[in-house]
């Protein structure tokens, strides 16, 4: 018995040492505060300019489309702030600030090993990434206006020279809203996204390739290269009261929707979002619920929201 106990002592010591070493590794892997500060700095009240221009045709008969430019005003609010995850919600204000449109949400996660990849034609697949491949990186998940996934990728923040910027890996995403109801000559936008802070706010730059994907998911070729620059300049010229009031009334509901989607993405390896069921879309149902919450304040349970989401998934 004594020999057995004595033999176990080095093993216990080794386990203790490994536990201490593991704790040290975790401590070293904490997200840099400068990264968190840069992400949080994107919150605020902005005048926004969206500009996109096709620059290179990649098929012999393809004609470049006219450049796109649009101005808007957006309120960006912090809706989640934990040491390893930050979520920012964009709220568009139109009609002189009187009307509010819930826009996209960006969720930043430190050293994220599960990435939701768009496959084309309303299909998404969850990709497992090795921890060593995402060491020191932040993923950025961007959601649709109804909080369903839009695209996700990861990259590192860089702060040298006092210039804070982040660049993604190449990221597959659905057609942008400026084109998804007008075009069917491509199915996937392959984008490299860059977020950078400026003295007056921040910018979102894009280097895009427009890709044709067949019905069975095969890549068939690129049609054009495009560059984009969305400029967010802080402003005091717009009244964002309506946006803040909308979020005060509905923010808790949208948190439930986001949690339901997070559960779907955690449990499913792949899924397709059906566009319509008997003339209704998932987005319409989710927004109808938001209108009801805004009026009576009754927030549905996550299980109820999940049931609606599941009914539109294949």
User: Mean pLDDT throughout 89-96?
Assistant: 93
Averaged pLDDT of the chain: 91
pTM (whole model) above 0.85: yes
Instruction: Name the pLDDT band for 24 (thresholds 50, 70, 90).
Output: very low
Asked if the model's pLDDT at residue 159 lies above 70, the reply is yes
Contact 210, 186 (CB under 8 A): yes
Q: What was the pLDDT predicted at 216?
A: 86
Q: What was the pLDDT predicted at 16?
A: 40
pLDDT digits (tens, 9 = 90+) for 28-86: 579 999 999 999 999 999 999 999 999 999 999 999 999 999 999 999 999 999 999 99
Task: Decide if 23 is inside a domain.
Answer: no
Domain holding 282, by residue range, is: 33-311
Q: What was the pLDDT predicted at 98?
A: 85
Q: What was the pLDDT predicted at 97?
A: 81
Quote the DSSP letter at residue 122. T
Q: What was the pLDDT predicted at 27?
A: 42
Contact 212, 224 (CB under 8 A): no
Task: Decide if 156 is inside a domain.
Answer: yes
Task: Decide if 163 is inside a domain.
Answer: yes
Q: What was the pLDDT predicted at 1?
A: 41
Report in angstroms the alpha-carbon separations of 312 from 35, 245, 276, 309: 36, 30, 8, 6
Write down the residue that tokens 């070493």 correspond to: 21
Asked if the model's pLDDT at residue 261 lies above 50, the reply is yes
Q: How many domains does the chain have?
A: 1
- CA dist 135 and 265 (Å) reads 21
Task: Decide if 5 is inside a domain.
Answer: no
Instruction: Name the pLDDT band for 23 (thresholds 50, 70, 90).
Output: very low
Percentage of the chain beyond pLDDT 90 is: 85
Q: Which residues pair with 125 in a beta bridge?
A: 117, 270
CB atoms < 10 A from the CB of 49, how many? Answer: 15
Task: Decide if 228 is inside a domain.
Answer: yes
pLDDT digits (tens, 9 = 90+) for 96-154: 888 999 999 999 999 999 999 999 989 999 999 999 999 999 999 999 999 999 999 99
Task: Decide if 15 is inside a domain.
Answer: no
Write down the residue that tokens 């996934």 correspond to: 149
Task: Decide if 119 is inside a domain.
Answer: yes
Task: Decide if 108 is inside a domain.
Answer: yes
- DSSP sequence for 25-40: HHHHTSPPHHHHHHHH
């Amino acid at each position: 018995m004594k020999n057995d106990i004595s033999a176990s002592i080095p093993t216990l010591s080794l386990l203790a040492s490994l536990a201490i070493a593991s704790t040290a590794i975790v401590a070293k892997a904490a997200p840099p505060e400068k990264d968190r500060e840069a992400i949080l700095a994107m919150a605020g009240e902005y005048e926004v300019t969206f500009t996109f221009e096709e620059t290179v045709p990649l098929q012999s008969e393809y004609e470049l489309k006219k450049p796109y430019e649009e101005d808007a005003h957006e309120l960006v609010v912090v809706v989640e702030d934990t040491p390893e995850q930050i979520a920012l919600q964009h709220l568009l204000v139109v009609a002189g600030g009187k009307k509010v449109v819930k826009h996209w949400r960006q969720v930043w996660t430190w050293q994220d090993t599960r990435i939701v990849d768009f496959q084309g034609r309303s299909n998404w697949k969850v990709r497992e990434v090795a921890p060593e491949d995402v060491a020191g990186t932040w993923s950025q998940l961007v959601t649709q206006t109804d909080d369903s996934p839009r695209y996700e990728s990861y990259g590192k923040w860089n702060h040298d020279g006092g210039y804070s910027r982040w660049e993604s890996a190449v990221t597959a995403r659905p057609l942008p809203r400026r084109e998804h109801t007008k075009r069917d000559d491509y199915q996937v936008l392959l984008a490299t996204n860059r977020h950078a802070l400026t003295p007056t706010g921040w910018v979102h730059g894009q280097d895009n390739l427009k890709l044709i994907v067949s019905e069975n998911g095969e890549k068939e070729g690129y049609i054009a290269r495009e560059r984009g620059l969305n400029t967010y300049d802080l402003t005091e010229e717009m009244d964002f009261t309506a946006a803040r009031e909308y979020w005060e009334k509905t923010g808790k509901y949208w948190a439930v929707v986001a949690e339901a989607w997070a559960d779907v993405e955690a449990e499913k390896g792949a899924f397709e979002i059906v566009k319509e069921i008997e003339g209704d879309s998932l987005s319409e149902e989710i927004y109808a619920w938001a209108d009801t919450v805004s009026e009576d304040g009754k927030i549905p349970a996550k299980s109820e929201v999940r049931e609606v989401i599941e009914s539109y998934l294949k």
